Amino acid sequence: MSILYFNPVTGDLEGLPEQMKILLDSSTITQEEKQKNPEAVYQALKYMQDPKFSLKTAKYMTQAEEGDYDELPPPRPVEGPIFPLSTIRESKEFKRASGIETLGSPPPPPIPKRPERTKSIYTKAVEDEDTTDYISPKESAPPNTTPEAVSKALLKAQTIKKLRQIVSVGDPVKKFALQKKIGQGASGAVFTAIDQTTGDSVAIKQMVLAKQPRPELILNEILVMQGSKHLNIVNYLDSYLVAEELWVVMEYLAGGSLTDVVTETCMQEGQIAAICREVLQGLQFLHERSIIHRDIKSDNILLGMNGEIKITDFGFCAQLSPEKTKRTTMVGTPYWMAPEVVRRRQYGPKVDIWSLGIMAIEMLDGEPPYMNEDPLRALYLIANNGKPEIKERDKLSTYFQDFLDQCLEVDINARPSAGKLLQHPFLRLAHPLPSLRAVIEATKQSLAVKEKQGFR
Ligand code: G5X
């Protein structure tokens, strides 16, 4: 990108390719913003317009429709100090229907059901971007014989061969009794199941290899997670290959995702601190092993009924090596992406720390910053604004304010590591983990009420 400038007469950015102009025209980015930071606009456009990165390669797991956790044991009383039960976040529709009107302090804003744009994306690395792209395969050769298609088919064959070498032998259909579907996404479905030999509950991710746009990501996920066991990570247990279907068996967490908690309840600082500490412990473990998760957000944090907090979905993780200590691939979910990822700079493990800061905002507000903006404008705002504004900042403890400031530090060198942040005084405010059970139960109850009233 050499000549890109704002034309004050037309109010347009000059020097953009035609496709980008069309994209920009359809976005809500203002003239003022184009003028203020053309480079940030360009970075955002490049990301959106890249066909390799389009939503075709996106992975999106939605929650199953039915009540996910019906077969849970009855709740046990919470031990340890009791904290007031978390407040249910009231939505407008909910209030109207139930006739409840709150007096005094205004209720928190309603959080609508998560839109599609919270899904994750994966683009090719900048350094692998060129070569084959100039051949324009679609016009010059019949399908499946283009260099692109041939190398893709090769990679797929190699990936399946490697998968065969690492999976367990045996028939998982006999070993596991499938129970309930808990998720469905582009890469496959997730079920709960019982291990017939041990009686343990497990979760199984089933994927049809032929339908995977990038099977090498699944191989990566298994290879990285096979050797990574930690209390704050959803542990990989086993995998099986049945015909062309891959089953990945992992531990099951019955509390559901943190997204449900952040959208349904108003969390207290002590609860937020507890979750931040646990996630940081998981991140410290990963980062020590040169693994970056790259898609930290509430959707990828699972809760156990006794307050366990675990990071899940390593489909986008990167294992750094001594030869390759930095990455440039644009990976993650726009609203949670660190500025260095959006700006396509070299990045490392600290991107997970930024995303944790955004997730802390989710725990405060129910959603990440810029959620009302289209993803393109959100990317522009991240690249341009850096640290997002914290709503009602002065209502937070000074420890929490400082913790947020440190996670959301734009300067990578000044942003602390997971190990350093674990020393932060904010984390000393953490409530004991078993007390989180009450929050999970309040969440489930709130969802059940809405379900009954037909809001979901
Ligand atoms: N309650 C787990 C995953 C984790 C490390 C390799 C992806 C979903 C959904 C999903 C629901 C679970 C899992 C366990 C509950 C998912 C993954 C992963 C790994 C080892 C596999 C998606 N709704 N779960 N308990 N939910 O789509 O990367």
Tell me the per-residue pLDDT of 182-205, one tens digit each, with 9 for 90 and over: 998 778 899 999 999 999 999 999
Q: Which atom of ligand 1 is nearest to the CA of 255?
A: 1
The atom of ligand 1 lying closest to the CA of 314 is 28
Asked whether residue 78 is domain-assigned, the answer is: no
- Predicted confidence (pLDDT) per residue in 24-53, tens digit: 877 788 878 888 888 888 878 876 765 444
CA 68 to chain centre: 20
How far apart CA 293 and CA 229 sit, in angstroms, is 14
| Candidate from 195, 205, 294 with most ligand 1 atoms within 8 A of CB, to mutate | 205
pLDDT at 19 over 90: no
Model confidence at 134: pLDDT above 60: no
Q: Is pLDDT of 151 > 90?
A: no
For residues 308 and 344, membership in a common domain is answered with yes
Residue from 249, 306, 312, 314 to probe ligand 1 pocket by mutation (most atoms less than 8 Å from CB): 312
Q: Choose between 1 and 102: higher pLDDT.
A: 1
Considering the domain architecture, whether residues 139 and 279 belong to the same structural domain is answered as: no
In this structure, the answer to whether residues 317 and 245 fall within a common structural domain is no
Among candidate residues 295, 313, 352, 365, the one labeled active-site is 295
Q: Is the domain of 301 the same as that of 443? A: yes
Query: Any idea what the CATH number is for the domain that residue 39 is in?
Result: 3.90.810.10
Q: Does 221 contact ligand 1 (Cβ within 6 A)?
A: yes
Last residue of a domain, one of 251, 277, 302: 251
Last residue of a domain, one of 229, 251, 273: 251
Do residues 397 and 411 both lie within one domain? yes
Q: Which ligand 1 atom sits closest to the C-alpha of 233?
A: 5
- Decide which of 455 and 135 is more confident: 455
Q: Is 68 in the pocket of ligand 1 (CB under 6 A)?
A: no
Same domain, 422 and 288: yes
Q: Does 135 map to a domain?
A: yes
Asked if 233 and 163 touch (Cβ cutoff 8 Å), the reply is no
Q: Are residues 260 and 243 in the same domain?
A: no
Pairwise CA distance, residues 279 & 188, whole Å: 26
| CATH for 388 | 1.10.510.10
Q: Within 10 Å of residue 38's Cβ, how many Cβ atoms?
A: 18
> Does 68 fall in a domain?
no
pLDDT at site 112: 60
Q: Is 250 in the pocket of ligand 1 (CB under 6 A)?
A: yes
Residue 30's domain spans which residues?
Answer: 5-48
Q: Same domain, yes or no, for 291 and 433?
A: yes
Note the pLDDT of residue 84: 53
**Lowest mean pLDDT segment, chosen from 45-54, 169-178, 400-409, 438-447:** 45-54
Most confident of 22-36, 60-74, 413-427: 413-427
**Range ranked top by mean pLDDT from 83-92, 124-133, 408-417:** 408-417
Domain harbouring 172, CATH code: 3.30.200.20
Name the token pair of 219.
Answer: 């191989």
Reduce the secondary structure of the chain to three states and give it as a string: CCCCEEECCCCEEECCCHHHHHHHHCCCCCHHHHHHCHHHHHHHHHHHHCHHHCHHHCECCEECCCCCCCCCCCCCCCCCCCCCCCEECCCHHHHHHHCCCCCCCCCCCCCCCCCHHHCEEECCCHHHCCHHHHHCHHHHCCCCCCHHHHHHHHHHHHHHHHHHHHCCCCCHHHHEEEEEEEEECCCCEEEEEEECCCCCEEEEEEEEHHHCCCHHHHHHHHHHHHCCCCCCECCEEEEEEECCEEEEEEECCCCCEHHHHHHHEECCHHHHHHHHHHHHHHHHHHHHCCEECCCCCHHHEEECCCCCEEECCCCCCEECCCCCCCECCCEECHHHCCHHHHCCCCECCHHHHHHHHHHHHHHHHCCCCCCCCCHHHHHHHHHHHCCCCCCCHHHCCHHHHHHHHHHCCCCCCCCCCHHHHCCCHHHHHCCCHHHHHHHHHHHHHHHHHHHHCCCC
Average pLDDT over residues 44-66: 44
Residue 67 forms part of a structural domain: no
Ligand 1 centroid to residue 152 C-alpha, Å: 27
Ligand 1 centre and the CA of 205: distance in Å? 7
% residues pLDDT > 90 (the chain): 56
State the total domains in the chain: 3
Q: How many CB atoms lie within 10 A of CB 242?
A: 13
Q: Are residues 200 and 280 in the same domain?
A: no
Q: Which residues, at least 6 apart from 332, have a Cβ–Cβ distance to it below 8 Å?
A: 120, 121, 294, 295, 316, 341, 351, 355
Q: What integer is the mean pLDDT of 368-383?
A: 94
**Residues 389 and 446 grouped into a single domain:** yes
For atom 1 of ligand 1, the residue with the nearest CA is: 253
166 found inside a domain: yes
Does some domain include residue 79? no
Looking at the fold, whether 276 and 320 belong to one and the same domain comes out as: yes
Q: Report the pLDDT value the prediction gives residue 106, as an integer from 0 to 100.
A: 55
Decide if 130 is catalytic: no
Quick: pLDDT tens for 321-346.
999 999 998 889 999 999 999 998 99
Is 246 within a domain?
yes
The pTM score is 0.81
Q: Rounded to the nearest whole angstrom, what is the distance from the C-alpha of residue 201 to the centroid of ligand 1?
A: 13
Residue 57 lies in a domain: no
Comparing 78 with 288, which gets the higher pLDDT?
288
162 and 232 share one domain:
yes
Q: Is 3 exposed, middle or buried (0-12, 13-18, 19+ CB in 10 A)?
A: exposed
**Is residue 79 scored above 70 in pLDDT?**
no
**What b/e sequence results for 253-265 when a residue is b if at least 16 CB atoms lie within 10 Å of its CB, and e otherwise?**
bbbbbbbbbbbbb
Boundary-marking domain end, from 226, 251, 276: 251
